[in-house]
Structure 1
Amino acid sequence: MHVDHVAFGWDDLDTVRAALDAVGLPFDEGGTHADGTTHMALTGLPDGSYLEYIAPTPGTNPEAAGFWPAALAARAGPAAWCVRVDDVVAETKRAIDAGFAVEGPLHGGRDRPDGRRVEWDQTFERVDAPDRWLFPFPLVDRTPRSWRVSETDGVTPLSGVDTVVLGVADVDDAAALLDRRYRIPAPVLAETDAVAGDVTDVPGAPIALTAAGDARLARVGERPAAVLLGTDDLAAARTAYELTDPVAWGARRAAWFDRDLFRGRVGVIE
């Protein structure tokens, strides 16, 4: 499982840009999606993964947005995640074989600020289930991947998306579903004070699970709740960016980008 990107959803992109500037996390403008209802910016990371910051285009009601309208309207922060695959048709078949209802493959695209059209194919899984955004959507590029994302200047010492923290109603149930689809190892409790409640890591996979609070579940359902970017040097990352004090995350250390919009939602892990 290779994380392609994590979508961070908000109702106004200017607010997200201002928070990124405040913590020193660089980003590139990404343009407008093909249906015209959402636009985005992104932070491209050295391993090819990226954070996408997505919001309704000006004048669009968030609840009418083409991507994750409930999450955008609710200022959910992490809203969805995507895995990079070589063959989206084969990956779609694997989801069907696991008993999941699917939508796709679907043709997607966006227009970059320089006018270049970026295109891809993607499939959404468990489309008949309330926990559908718990699962990543597989994606493959039609146009060169470098058109969709390239490393953003100044992102060192970050390496890539390390861990997607999934906020779920029941950790055991979610782990069983993920195992059915991806054959994941059994989650292991990770001692941390970074988030409220217990967190379990999935060894060898870029996933952690945590029981989301009732308020978040009522607002946005089961979906990514946080994302941690990897670094080999947390001290250097704290020099480069505004981060909270580090806390233990199992045998590692983690810190959040230190603004209300990101704290508890986007961080760094060593």
Structure 2
Amino acid sequence: MLAIDHVAFGGSDLDDLRAVAETVGLPTEYGGPHGTGTTHMAVVGLPDGAYLELVAPTEDTDPADAGFWPAHLAADAGPAGWCLDVPDVAAAAKSAIDRGVRVDGPHEASRVRPDGTRVEWDMCFEGPDGDERLPFLIADRTPRSYRTTPDSGLVDSPLVGLAAVVLAVDDIGTSADLLTRRHRLPTPVDAAGPFDRLRVCPGSPVALAEAGDGGPLRERIEAVGEGPCAYLLGVDDFAAARERFSLGDPFAFGRDGDRRAAWFDHERFGGRLGVAERGD
């Protein structure tokens, strides 16, 4: 099963993103500025070791000049990129090239935490410029615990980790072929969920939402391109999650429609960040 290392949620103001997260019950920890000096981030450390990264331009940086996902940050678009941890970024990049996938990298990257700890990693982006359907890749050069640890306030919560990344795409078939060619994901099947044309890849945390001729998904793709449009954090007790976090009305999710899900109850997160019962 494809294991997601973390997902990035972007906006124009990090303090605002952190305040919204705290409002719905998600504790955050400031992670410091990236090595480019144009973005900084905060972490929501999930119990299984994965995490939600909140990322925004630094105070004196125009969002359009940000080193990561400038279009997403400028548009306050939320979901921006998803990441896989690999043993060797260079080897993974070669594998992508062998499969006919364009790569941007490997790159050396870093950030400095408020306690002065320097975090370093190698990374590589895959796919056409501005296309975030494929996950970017990361390999730590410092211990992964420098990058993230589970938040103590969430360890005993109903949250478990990441349940699903939903990708907004022009055509499900074309995107499914790309994901199969690169990461051997299975053929997606029809699924219940909050988007009209939704399919999930069985046994993986990936779902595809096809944009029609109009509507929010089409507007999103025109603004920031294809790629993540929503994240669902996994919970092992949906009723307890509704008591612990600020959530909206539940909806059915998944291949059989038997998993309950809900968006976090804030306009910045509605339709973009929520929870879902874990399942196949």
**TM bracket (short chain):** over 0.9
TM-score after normalising by structure 1: 0.96
Q: CA separation of 1:267/1:112 partners in 2, compared to 1, >3 Å: closer, same or farther?
A: same
Shift of 1:15: 1.3
Match of 1:112 in 2: 113
Equivalent in the alignment of 1:39: 40
Within 5 Å, which residues of 2 pair with 1:214-233?
214-233=218-237
Query: Cα deviation per residue 1:73-102 (whole Å; 9 max; x = unaligned)?
Result: 011100011001122222111101111121
- What does residue range 1-270 of structure 1 map to in structure 2 within 5 Å? 1-126=2-127, 129-130=128-129, 132-155=131-154, 156-192=157-193, 194-195=194-195, 197-212=196-211, 213-249=217-253, 250-270=257-277
Aligned residues: percent identity? Answer: 54
Separation of aligned partners in 2, 1:154 and 1:182:
34
TM-superposition CA deviations, 1:189-213 (whole Å, max 9, x none): 1122x23x22111011110000232
Q: State how far apart, in whole Å, the 2-side matches of 1:35 and 1:131 are.
A: 19
Gaps of at least 5 residues in structure 2 are 212-216
Cα distance in 1 for residues equivalent to 2:171 and 2:238: 31
In 1, the alpha carbon distance for the partners of 2:50 and 2:131 equals 22
Aligned-partner residue type, residue 260 of structure 2: R
**Letter of the structure 1 residue corresponding to residue 81 of structure 2:** A
Question: What are the superposed Cα offsets for residues 200-233 of structure 1, whole Å, 9 maximum, x if unpaired?
Answer: 1101111000023221111111010000111110
**Unmatched runs of 5 consecutive residues or more in structure 1:** none
Letter in 1 for 2:184: R
Shift of 1:153: 2.1
Over the aligned positions, Cα root-mean-square deviation in angstroms equals 1.1
In 2, Cα distance between equivalents of 1:78 and 1:133:
10
Q: 1:34: Cα distance to partner?
A: 0.5
